[in-house]
Structure 1
Amino acid sequence: MDHDDLPTLELAFPGPERDRGVAAIRSGEKTALTGLLEIYQHAGEALPQPGQRFSVLDSDGRPAVTIEVTEVRVVPMAEVDDEFARAEGRGYADAAQWRAAHEAFFRSEGVVEFLGRPPAIDGRTLVVAERFRKVESG
């Protein structure tokens, strides 16, 4: 499979956080990811669809692993459960840890800069909760 034919996916921002996420996908620990719906809307991007494949990029912008989306749900942050939190492969013990980490990331300087303002984050904030399977490593 040619990575060049696939849309790309970048986890977090380049650096240690992205590198850990890519490694967790490669190892099979990470089978879920979450995005802020407002970021998709601001970027004018369509939501991923089941069956869609992405080339996940490493911190150097190189294809690292290919994934296939198996499920996409738009849900309030408060509805993310412990099982989904653990499937993110980041070592979250439960949904409370997941939520604290995601609230911090969604309020981070990079997200604020992209949106042009701080997003309103609470239990009603809509997130794009995706499940995927690893297709191949790059």
Structure 2
Amino acid sequence: MFERIDGMRTIEFGTPGASREKLVNLILHGQKRATAGLLIGDYESEGEPIEHVGELLAIVDNDVKHVGTMKVTRVEVLRFADVPDELALAEAEGDMNAADFRASHLAYWTRVGESVTDDTLIVTVYFDLLPEITRS
């Protein structure tokens, strides 16, 4: 289970280091509005429940410092093959459509040791940054 800050679950983006720094900056600058994780690899294996609409999550940086708060606006569990273009664009990681998303995320998940097929279930989380709680 992830730790809690100010009563909220924390959420970490990407892997520690430059990847996490880039993703957190995209969020804090209003570009990144969605994320995706593997149902088995990121949730079930860590004993972490799926986010729910309305949930507030503490965004943490590489030092596990609370740098912002996000509010979950939509959650879907989809087959990897069924990811929509909308998610690719909302993630703001450079993917312009679902095919780009699948290629880049397959490469990432393979690099970190996960096995992904068209039928692999992923959790997609759309969110809003709460600017009044953003921390510097």
TM over 0.5: yes
Confirm or deny: 8 A CA contact 1:35 1:127 kept in the other structure. yes
TM-score normalised by the chain length of structure 1: 0.87
User: What are structure 1's unaligned runs of at least 5 residues?
Assistant: 113-118
Q: 1:27 aligns with which of 26, 29, 40?
A: 29
- The residue aligned with 2:87 is 84
| SS of 1:102 mapped into structure 2 | helix
User: What are structure 2's unaligned runs of at least 5 residues?
Assistant: none
TM-score normalised by the chain length of structure 2: 0.88
- The residue aligned with 1:98 is 101
- Aligned pair count reads 128
Confirm or deny: 8 A CA contact 2:109 2:115 kept in the other structure. no
The RMSD of aligned alpha carbons is: 1.2
- The residue aligned with 1:116 is none
Deviation at 1:89, TM superposition (A): 1.2
Q: 2:129 aligns with which of 107, 129, 134?
A: 134
Alpha-carbon deviations, 1:92-134, whole Å to 9, x = none?
111111111111222223xx3xxxxxx4311111000110000
Confirm or deny: 8 A CA contact 2:79 2:119 kept in the other structure. yes
| SS of 1:14 mapped into structure 2 | coil
Q: Kindly report structure 1 stretches of 4+ aligned residues shifted beyond 3 Å.
A: none
The residue identity in structure 2 corresponding to 1:75 is L
The residue identity in structure 2 corresponding to 1:133 is D
Alignment of 1:16-95 (within 5 A): 16-39=18-41, 40-95=43-98
- The residue aligned with 1:13 is 15
Q: For residues 68 and 93 of structure 2, what CA distance do their matches in structure 1 show?
A: 17
